[in-house]
Chain A
Amino acid sequence: MGQIDLIDISKSYDKQKNVLDEINLSIEEGEFFVLVGPSGSGKSTLLRMIAGLEDITSGTLKISDKIVNHLPPKDRNLSMVFQNYALYPHLSVEQNILFGLGAKKVNKKEQQKRLAETAEMMGLSELLNRKPKELSGGQKQRVALARSVVSEAPLCLMDEPLSNLDAKLRAQMRIEIRRLQKRLGLTMVYVTHDQVEAMTMGDRIMVLNDGKIQQVGKPITLYNEPENLFVASFIGSPKMNMGKAVYSMNQNQLVIEDTLRIAQGPDMDDIPGNIDLTVGIRAEHLLPGTAENTTHHLEAVNVEQLGNETLIAFDVGSTLWMAKWLGQWDVQVGEMVPVHIDSGNFCFFDSNTGLLIKSANFVKEQEVVSI
């Protein structure tokens, strides 16, 4: 029994197509829970249903074991941060922060106490008399956060709060929000379309697509053992390299995209040979080949130098595969580059159902060693 329980929650606007389809989910107290998915997947709708801003078409929503389906937002004891911050343009920062407390009839002395604490914590003490339009994006974001902190609601909902900020500020705010959540012991439900944000901030992540739950779990689990093709391609940057594979038992080879031939290893024993397969391999497992272990030569079609690592796109049949190599590699476009591919690094998916057959087991062993 968590703090928020969603039982068979569905939502439809036109009574025909479900925007959200039978969502079952339990969010624990003090957890940083991230809802992630492409736009139109229904993640914001789900959040707004928890907030009480959207009606629930069917199913039960419980907050702290109380059914709240028909409770107005103000009685759900939560706070929310919006994408565009939703600051009142005519009020000063101080008035903005205290706006909600006035409506909840918190007495003046308590208000001032909370204001002072929050402003101190968020570094807003100097800005209390400014209007929102005199603030930078990051400062506005902090005011919006302060407004939700000052309400002292145990549950905080955030709807893509960082998407209006530039990349640098976003990285900084990510850390700040995470710290704040831990410090105050808030239960956080956080919506984003950015999988990097999801990976770095969430205690648990739920991947949503087309109104259906794709997978719920710890970030690292989603990365290592994606339950289906969607999660595999959505989580991770650059995304997992995918290819159609034909498994030819008699030749003891796996043929990927009609170009790559992989010798059968012990890892492939339990893969059924009679179905359409899709294999996936992470960019960091497409290793540079040395004189001893080179398995293939691939044509480089694009090279991105990031300084600390090099991203190389290889031509594999009809698709491009990205490799991420540590350090700086002097690779020319058009060059045939030696690479090392270990069959243990492959994830196997059923092409028809999209479901995972077998994850890359090599990864896990490596992880255990490196920890």
Chain B
Amino acid sequence: MTIPITRKIIFYLLLIISSMLVFSPTLMAFVMSFMTNQDIMTGSLPSSLTLDNYVKAFNQFPLLKYLFNSLVVSIVIMLGQLILSSLAAYAFVFLEFKGRDLLFYVFIATMMVPFEASIIPNFHIIRDLGWIDTYPGLTVPFFAMAFGTFLLRQNFKQIPKELREASQIAGMGDFKFYLTVVLPVARTSLVTLGVYGFLTSWNMYLWPLLSTTNDSVRTVQIGLKQLQTQEQLNDWGVIMAGAIIVVIPTLILLFLGQSKLQKGLTEGALK
């Protein structure tokens, strides 16, 4: 498609302005993480750039420990979601049982209940199981995921049912079909869901705050909050340095998975 040059210029101008608007907080955080406290407080441009804030962030708090916890929690949640969602989606697509569609709609309806609404019962269960301050307590409540099941179901539905029938005739059971055909064919959607699950759990705040009481399993988002103090003046440089460190894995994942993520989320939207 060809666009007249003047209109092109206007488009790009608007795009640049809006991207600046959207990106400016991140950019500010990035710059501030290299600035001295003095510069930040006076609101001037940086007079000198320094890595002190990063050194401080690592020394002052067990940031590495937090990062490790976050990584473990996110990966476990991601895997748990992938396994449960794909198994559930398989049942909703390939197994025939009475009330299957009704069950599916009820299942989907739970998407409308926000996690915050179920947070108190969840907390009770975790507490009674003695899972406070443990990895299972942080991860297990997120394994069952209506959205993931929905996404994968739509994807599995595009697999022709003749493939299932052909493998039935060849003498292949459900589980083997799931492993050797369904999962490889739905690879893109699985990656999408994995990235999505990972990022969501990486950025989780409320639940880790509730279900942890000490640093042993606390995630990085809570750690970040601890960088802020209530009594003293905030050390913004350190906080920003911490924030940048926390954002990095997210960005890496986004850059790597961007094309796949888009493809996967919009898959089935057309057609």
A74 to B167 alpha-carbon distance, docked (Å)? 9
Out of B163, B165, B171, B187, name the residue touching A80 (CB < 8 Å): B165
Give Cα A80–Cα B166 distance, bound, in whole angstroms. Answer: 7
Contact B168–A100 (Cβ < 8 Å): no
Query: Is B102 engaged at the interface, CB distance under 8 Å to the other chain?
Result: no
The answer to whether B168 touches A90 (Cβ under 8 A) is: no
**Is the CB of A307 closer than 8 A to any CB of chain B?**
no
- Closest chain B residue to A86 by CB distance? B162
A74, closest chain B residue (CB): B171
Cα of A104 to Cα of B160 in the assembled complex, Å: 22
The secondary structure that dominates the B interface is helix
B167 touches A99 (CB 8 A): yes
Q: Would you call A79 and B169 a contact (CB within 8 A)?
A: yes
Give B residues with C-beta under 8 Å from A. Answer: 160, 162-163, 165-172, 176, 181, 184-185, 187
A223 proximal to B (CB < 8 A): no
A138 at the interface (CB under 8 A from B): no
CB atoms of A104 and B171 under 8 A apart: yes
A90 closest partner in B (C-beta):
B184
The 7 closest A-B CB pairs, nearest first, are: A74-B171, A100-B170, A86-B162, A86-B166, A82-B162, A90-B184, A103-B172
User: Are A84's CB and B162's CB within 8 A?
Assistant: yes
Q: Which of A8-51 contact B (CB under 8 A)?
A: 51
With beta carbons under 8 angstroms apart, the residue of A86, A89, A99 that contacts B165 is A86
Known: A86-B162, A88-B181. 20 other contacts (CB 8 A): A51-B169, A73-B165, A74-B168, A74-B170, A74-B171, A78-B169, A79-B169, A86-B160, A86-B165, A86-B166, A88-B163, A90-B181, A90-B187, A99-B167, A99-B170, A100-B167, A100-B169, A103-B167, A103-B176, A151-B170
Number of interface residues of A (CB under 8 A): 23
A86 to B166 Cα, complex, angstroms: 7
Q: How many angstroms from the CA of A79 to the CA of B169 in the assembled complex?
A: 7
CB distance from A63 to the nearest CB of B (A): 13
User: Does A90 lie within 8 Å of B170, measured CB to CB?
Assistant: no
| Beta-carbon nearest neighbor of A79 in chain B | B169
The B-contacting residues of A in range 77-106, CB under 8 angstroms, are 78-80, 82-84, 86, 88-90, 99-100, 103-104
Contact A100 B171 (CB under 8 A): yes
Whether the pair B169, A80 counts as a contact (CB closer than 8 A) is yes
Assess the A89–B185 pair: CB atoms within 8 A: yes
Let me know if B184 and A74 touch, CB within 8 A. Answer: no
Tell me how far the C-beta of A142 lies from the nearest C-beta in chain B, rounded to whole angstroms.
Answer: 16
Among residues of A, the one whose C-beta sits closest to the C-beta of B159 is A89
A336 at the interface (CB under 8 A from B): no
Q: How far is the CA of A80 from the CA of B164 in the complex (A)?
A: 12
- Point out the residues of chain B lying under 8 angstroms from A84, CB to CB: 160, 162
Task: Give CA–CA (A284, B187) in the complex, Å.
Answer: 57
Nearest A-chain residue to B181, judged by Cβ: A88
Closest to A100 in B: B170
Bound form: Cα–Cα A86–B162 in Å: 5
- In this assembly, does A72 line the interface, its C-beta being within 8 Å of a C-beta of chain B? yes
Chain B residue numbers with a CB within 8 Å of A72 are 168
Contacts of A103 in B (CB 8 A): 167, 170-172, 176
Please tell me if A171 contacts chain B, counting CB pairs below 8 Å. no
Q: Does residue A53 face the partner (Cβ distance < 8 Å to B)?
A: yes
The reply to whether B166 and A82 form a contact with Cβ atoms under 8 Å apart is yes
- How many Å lie between the Cα of A73 and that of B164 in the bound state? 12
Which A residues are in CB contact (< 8 Å) with B160? 84, 86
Interface centre among A78, A80, A83 (most CB of B within 10 A): A80
B169 / chain A contacts, CB cutoff of 8 Å: 51-53, 73-74, 78-80, 100
